[in-house]
Amino acid sequence: MGDEVDVAIHRDATKSIVDRVGGSPWFSRNCWIDSASQGPLGGIIHNLTFCKELASWLKQHNPYDWICAFTMRLQHLLAFALLSRSSAIPKQSRFFLLFVQGFGRYAGHGKPTEFPDTLSTKLARFCFWLMAPAVRSGRVVLAAETKGMQDELQRFTGLPVTLAPHPVNFESGIPTLSPQPSDFPLTITCPGFARHEKGTDLFQDAIRILLSRPGADRFRFVLQWPKPFAMPDGSILGPDRELSLDQRVEFLNHNLNVLEYEELLSRTDLILLPYRRNSYHHRVSRVAIEAAGRGIPIIYTEGTWSGEVAELAGCGIPIREESAEDVARSLEEAVNQILLLSPQALTGAPLVRKYHSLETLRRVIIRSCE
């Protein structure tokens, strides 16, 4: 879009990552895996190291219009609070800090998140207190990708928070055909790694329910399940052997490349997102954006962020209870309404693509300083 962008990344990043993002190896710590960066003390040390290294980068380059951090964590918060108050950073440089993780604790469906009285919470509040003058002056922009996270951050900080899109590249996969629902059987997929938090176990149990009922031949199911995952009780869950022998069920046991993923979406009639609320109440689902942007109706857990995508698309079937029975009910409802859902999803797809675009993100960043 004509902007000059520098990307500073970890100094041990692989060559493929460096080439892919056009990055410059710089930072010495990884807050995800470095044990020295964990816990309250480790987090403070990581912040101070990150602050020193970022300040050194900024000193060696011409002043930036924007210093952007798109995956803000507590291990970065003190660093940016200190840098926002630093006289060494030119006044024309602004900070755009996007939070994909908040500081609240899930309190139940329909209830606002709660803020535990922990040392980490107190440190975060102190950092936002340090940063508050810069936020109010417009030097720092706090941002979130979901309305739920925006609300949580505003309640936690008492500061304004900008709502930003999660940009997706839709150069391929844009529907060009007139709205024509598929004939039966309908292909229902749940892309992405199988995990408990994504409700994969609920989907598998729902498949058993649906295949035991009349009209089961209306369904074809595809699950991406590269490896077994741990359940909360410590048991390990993998694909059901009986289902794996059923021609109406397909298990993908490998990581999909871009072309394979596009092929999967191209033969999908309905996308199922039975995510659990305690993990996805404020969390983005890129699959939901990619599906809705391609005109594929989504079936989603009520009370998760995917509902925001369904609202934008004007199309979707909610799962009201986190149970296999209700997942099966929602699947049947979606299949019964496919003649209505398919044209609705195609009509709403351009709205999804427009909002979740690079152009919209750039516009949000620029307008946030006006």
Residues 191 and 111 in one domain: no
DSSP type of residue 163: E
Of 130, 164, 198, the residue that ends a domain is 164
Residues 15 and 149 in one domain: yes
Residues 123 and 13 in one domain: yes
Give the residue from 151, 172, 173 showing the smallest Cα distance to 163.
151
Confidence of residue 368 (pLDDT cuts 50, 70, 90): confident
pLDDT at residue 182, as a whole number: 56
Residues 34 and 159 in one domain: yes
pLDDT at residue 169, as a whole number: 87
Q: What percent of the chain has pLDDT over 70?
A: 96
Q: Check which CATH number belongs to the domain holding 288 and give it.
A: 3.40.50.2000
Four-point Cα dihedral 265, 267, 270, 276, nearest 10 = -40
The H-or-E segment that residue 23 falls in is strand 23-27
Residues 67 and 193 in one domain: no
* Residue 84 dihedral angles phi and psi, to the nearest 5°: -65, -20
What is the mean pLDDT of the segment spanning 83-100? 94
pLDDT at residue 173, as a whole number: 56
Residue 27, C-beta contacts closer than 8 angstroms, at least 6 positions apart: 8, 9, 10, 11, 50, 53, 54
pLDDT at residue 254, as a whole number: 87
Q: Read off the pLDDT of residues 181-237 as tens digits, 9 standing for 90 and up.
A: 557 899 999 988 899 999 999 999 999 999 999 999 999 999 999 999 999 999 999
Q: pTM above the 0.75 mark?
A: yes
On whether residue 368 sits in a domain, the answer given is no
> What is the domain extent for residue 46?
7-164
Residues 146 and 196 in one domain: no
Share the mean pLDDT of the chain: 93
On whether residue 279 sits in a domain, the answer given is yes
On whether residue 318 sits in a domain, the answer given is yes
Residues 339 and 300 in one domain: yes
On whether residue 75 sits in a domain, the answer given is yes
Interatomic CA distance for residues 285 and 273, integer angstroms: 9
Q: Read off the pLDDT of residues 241-281 as tens digits, 9 standing for 90 and up.
A: 999 999 999 999 888 888 899 999 999 999 999 999 999 99
Residues 66 and 155 in one domain: yes
pLDDT at residue 178, as a whole number: 44
Residues 225 and 114 in one domain: no
Residues 106 and 223 in one domain: no
- Count of positions (residues) in the chain: 370
On whether residue 117 sits in a domain, the answer given is yes
pLDDT at residue 179, as a whole number: 47
Confidence of residue 118 (pLDDT cuts 50, 70, 90): very high
Residues 17 and 159 in one domain: yes
Q: Read off the pLDDT of residues 129-176 as tens digits, 9 standing for 90 and up.
A: 999 999 999 999 999 999 999 999 999 999 999 999 999 988 765 655
Domain count, the chain: 2
Residues 110 and 213 in one domain: no
pLDDT at residue 177, as a whole number: 46
Q: What percent of the chain has pLDDT over 90?
A: 84
